[in-house]
């Protein structure tokens, strides 16, 4: 069962009571389950990297489109994720905090979850990102002259309400498939940007249309929209 030799020696010398043995086995089950989950995620990341290598030099399966995106108001939590293997745990915990506050405050939004990555390059350590939810703009900026303007709620720390800047030119791509395969769509988005004489003009965004990450069971079948603010290169 993977118990350390010291613990096995103790059990042989003096068998543990049934309740203590049950707790010990439950702890081992939890630890093994966590290890299996980590290894499954590692396999998914390797598969995504292999797919990226195989698709190098061939026509990209992703179609990039340009569109304008208006300013939006979001409720988010920003944190640094130590390693990509911890991404899901961090994100789901943050989203749980946000949804609990939204529910308690009786706030309804657009139905769109999003993640914002404050990083220039793709990397797997110390990932500066925020996750959140798009909410009505009036909650942050009540309409002037309104007879009874809504009172902006005061979210608890670390939730923050702020405007997400508009983008006159947003390069977008849709990924449908394994969640870990999103990196392939992201690379296709960056390649298209530079190949078409453009540069990044802000952090890229990840939107979840019509699903919530902390409620979704099948991460092998997701639909994600990636958005990258761009501008024409001066050169």
DSSP state of 56: T
Crossing angle of the two packed helices 182-195 and 18-55, in degrees rounded to 10:
30
Handedness of CA 140, 143, 144, 149 (dihedral sign): negative
| C-alpha of 42 from chain center | 17
Q: Which residues contact 44 (CB under 8 A, 6 or more apart)?
A: 178, 179, 180
CA gap 83, 216 in Å, rounded: 22
Q: Which residues contact 25 (CB under 8 A, 6 or more apart)?
A: 1
C-alpha radius of gyration, the chain, whole number: 22
The pLDDT tens digits of the residues spanning 31-83 come to 888 778 777 766 765 765 666 566 565 556 888 999 999 999 999 999 999 98
Whose CA is closest to 206, among 230, 219, 223?
223
Verify cis geometry, omega within 30 degrees of 0, for the bond prior to 203: no
The pLDDT tens digits of the residues spanning 202-227 come to 999 999 988 888 887 777 788 999 99
The pLDDT tens digits of the residues spanning 159-191 come to 999 999 999 999 999 999 888 788 888 888 888
Which residue bears the tokens 């994100």?
91
Question: Residue 105 burial by CB count (10 A; 0-12/13-18/19+): exposed, middle or buried?
Answer: middle
Whole-model pTM: value is 0.70
More confident residue, 77 or 119: 77
Handedness of CA 30, 35, 36, 38 (dihedral sign): positive
CA gap 180, 44 in Å, rounded: 6
Backbone angles phi, psi at 162, to 5 degrees: -160, 160
65-232 CATH, one of 3.40.50.1980, 3.30.470.10, 3.40.50.720, 3.20.80.10: 3.20.80.10
């Amino acid at each position: 069962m993977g118990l350390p030799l010291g613990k096995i020696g103790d059990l042989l010398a003096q068998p543990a009571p049934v309740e203590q043995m049950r707790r010990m086995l439950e702890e081992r089950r939890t630890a093994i389950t966590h290890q299996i989950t980590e290894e499954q995620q590692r396999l998914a990341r390797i598969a995504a990297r292999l797919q990226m290598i195989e698709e190098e030099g061939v026509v990209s399966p992703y179609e990039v489109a340009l569109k304008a995106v208006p300013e939006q108001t979001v409720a988010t939590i920003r944190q640094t994720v130590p390693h990509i293997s911890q991404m899901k745990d961090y994100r789901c915990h943050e989203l749980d905090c946000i949804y609990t506050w939204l529910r308690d405050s009786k706030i309804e939004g657009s139905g769109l979850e999003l993640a914002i990555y404050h990083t220039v390059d793709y990397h797997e350590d110390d990932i500066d990102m925020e996750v959140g939810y798009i909410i009505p703009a009036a909650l942050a900026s009540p309409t002037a002259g309104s007879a009874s303007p809504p009172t902006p709620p005061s979210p608890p720390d670390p939730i923050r309400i702020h405007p997400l800047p508009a983008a006159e030119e947003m390069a977008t791509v849709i990924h449908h498939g394994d969640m870990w395969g999103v990196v392939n769509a992201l690379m296709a988005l960056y390649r298209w940007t530079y190949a078409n004489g453009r540069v990044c003009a802000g952090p890229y965004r990840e939107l979840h249309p019509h699903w919530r990450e902390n409620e979704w069971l099948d991460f092998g079948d997701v639909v994600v929209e990636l958005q990258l603010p761009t501008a024409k290169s001066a050169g």
